[in-house]
Amino acid sequence: MTEQNPNKFDPVKEFVSLRDNLTKAVEQGLKTVAGGGTTFPAVDVYETADSVVIRTEPMIGTSPSSIEVSMENDNLIISGENINDLDVPDTAYLWRELRFGKFARVVKIPRKVRADQAAAKFKNGVLTITLPKIPDSSSQIIQITPAE
């Protein structure tokens, strides 16, 4: 039986080590980005005939009283803080993807809306904001009547 040389280059072992280091670097980068509050919470924005609706992903650890929603020009701003209520030391985590702390999200609203008539509901961690649209006065339907 041949003896393995511990100093011999092992490409599989090197690849696994590189992957682990890259994963840690990405996680650290995401923690930094999350602290800056860029894309949390993720949102869906859709429109109905008379409104624009914004729906967030479930926000674990967030209470309705810790969320603020405001409009500035055509930007909807969702800000707040989600709290980690688990008492688990950082060193105990094997994998960590959930983000906690302060957040702010700006969503550009592509339609004219009545911000003063907005409605917001919070259910099961999901925030749903309904913004009534302002009818476009520059476009009107013109009735066609048959010529006599």
Query: Per-residue pLDDT tens for 81-123?
Result: 988 888 888 899 898 888 788 989 999 999 999 999 999 999 9
Query: pLDDT for 19-76, tens place per residue?
Result: 777 776 665 555 444 444 447 899 999 999 999 999 999 988 889 999 999 999 999 9
Q: Kindly indicate the confidence band of residue 15, based on its pLDDT and cuts at 50, 70 and 90.
A: confident
Domain that holds residue 52: 11-86+96-132
Residue 129 contacts residue 109 (beta carbons within 8 Å): no
d(CA 62, CA 68): 11
Question: What number of residues does the chain have?
Answer: 148
Residue 15 forms part of a structural domain: yes
Total structural domains in the chain? 1
Residue 6 lies in a domain: no
Looking at the domain assignment, is residue 1 inside a domain? no
Identity of the residue numbered 104: A
CATH of the domain at 122: 2.60.40.790
